[in-house]
Structure 1
Amino acid sequence: MTDCITVRVRADDPVSEAGLTGLLRPYPEIRLLHDDPGAAAVTVVTTDAVDPAGYQLLRTVQQSGPSRLVLLVPRLQDHQVGLAAECGIAGIMWRAGATAPRLKQVIQAVARGDGHIPPDLQERLLRLVGRLYGGQHGPGNARMAEREIAILRLVADGLDTSDIAHKLGYSERTIKGALHDVMNRHQLSNRAHAVAFALRKGLI
């Protein structure tokens, strides 16, 4: 039992948490914890989406102890990938492919210090990185963080500060600060100018 991995399961509803616990219970190499979250080497979090509620769940788990996080989710939109990364996610699995043996393998990989990203998400990440740091932007252009791009996309969709804050799970102050930083860094006069700049650069 000395090689057991201590694992905690968290979900946004009790049925999902019970189902995930049931998948892992048969494995002797995994010791499930129900108390003392700080003692877990790995925490598996399952949520329907990294929306404000899902993001808050991830942040709560991240702050509860030093365990490495595995996220089990149906899909992720591009801006949600950045939100998950902010929460220190070490492994991501799609729910559709989350068989018990595969989940155990991912937990073991994360516990060793490795990461896990689904192949199709890896391709999307490469495209995102290419858009952010690709040669078409030119060496003199400052970069934008994924959070800033997500905010500008929602500004372009016509959302106001409070709606953006609710959708992304940030405070209104954080949204205003991020937009202010973008406009100062790129010498933009207002939000419309910031959206036009991001469109010209192919960021949104």
Structure 2
Amino acid sequence: MSASVTGSDSRIRLLIVDDHPALREGVAAMVQYETDIAFVGEAPDGEAALEAFERLRPDVTLMDLQMPGTNGIGAIRAIRERSRHARIIVLTTYDGDLQAVEALKAGAVGYLLKASLRRELLEAIRAVHSGRKHIPPEVAQQIALHAGEESLTPREIEILKLVADGHANKTIAWRLSLTEDTVKGHMKNILAKLNVHDRTQAVTTALRRGLFFL
């Protein structure tokens, strides 16, 4: 769905990308009476987002992170490759620092938690459109808190995902064609990097920070 906006319209053209129709409709309803913002279209996933962006050329795009197919970060990269001036606000449930950092590296200029949508949406759209960044204090604090820490390797994240699924070291070793001692060594590194003491804490911390999602 898209709204008709003429070329002479000076309002901020807004595109919403999210796989939940109710959220897209909610955002459209929130901006419909704003005199300076025009809802111009929506997309349900990353691939459709790129097509909609090229067709509609919005001033600001709200982009969900977790979607089927091409996720939000992939879509941000694709859009920024085609338009380095694109202004994209990440729209997400998660306040983890790792997802925020990845999104900002990909080219997002704003970060908006869905829990704060009603309170911060209009402010975020206007701030980003005017050339400023919008990052909630709680997300900025998480980024600062973990800045400089050593990141988990792709293999360590893969192992931690299997731990989260309830697999023991022996099973993980079999599934990944590793020795059990190698898996134990990876787990030791994971605990040290996340500054936790056991597997349960490691999984909880990883989920909170956005290393992966269940």
Distance in 1 separating the partners of 2:157 and 2:115: 28
Q: 1:63 to 1:153 in 2, by over 3 A?
A: closer
Aligned to 2:34, the other structure's residue is in SS state coil
Quote how far apart the aligned CAs of 1:60 are: 2.8
Counterpart position of 2:63: 45
List aligned pairs for 1:96-175, cutoff 5 A. 96-99=115-118, 102-130=120-148, 132=149, 144=150, 146=151, 148-149=152-153, 152-156=156-160, 158=162
Aligned to 2:35, the other structure's residue is in SS state coil
Quote how far apart the aligned CAs of 1:23 are: 0.8
Counterpart position of 2:94: 75
* 1:196 is the counterpart of 2:188: yes
User: Residue type matched to 2:115 in 1?
Assistant: A
Distance in 2 separating the partners of 1:79 and 1:151: 17
Quote how far apart the aligned CAs of 1:4 are: 2.3
Distance in 1 separating the partners of 2:182 and 2:109: 37
Residues 92 and 117 in structure 1, CA contact (< 8 A), matched pair in contact too: yes
**TM-score, with length taken from structure 2:** 0.58
Gaps of 5+ in 2: 1-7, 42-50, 165-175, 196-201, 203-214
Match of 2:111 among 88, 92, 99: 92
Residues 6 and 32 in structure 1, CA contact (< 8 A), matched pair in contact too: yes
Distance in 2 separating the partners of 1:114 and 1:16: 25
Q: How many residues align?
A: 160
Quote how far apart the aligned CAs of 1:93 are: 1.5
**TM-score, with length taken from structure 1:** 0.61
Q: Percent identity?
A: 18
1:89-135 CA deviation, whole Å, 9 max, x = no partner? 211122222226x31211111122211111111111111105x1xxx
Residues 9 and 44 in structure 1, CA contact (< 8 A), matched pair in contact too: yes
Residues 68 and 89 in structure 1, CA contact (< 8 A), matched pair in contact too: yes
Counterpart position of 1:165: none
Residues 14 and 59 in structure 2, CA contact (< 8 A), matched pair in contact too: yes
Quote how far apart the aligned CAs of 1:84 are: 2.8
Distance in 1 separating the partners of 2:189 and 2:115: 38
Gaps of 5+ in 1: 133-143, 161-175, 177-188
Q: CA RMSD in A?
A: 3.5
Deviant stretches of 4+, over 6 Å = none
Counterpart position of 2:39: 32
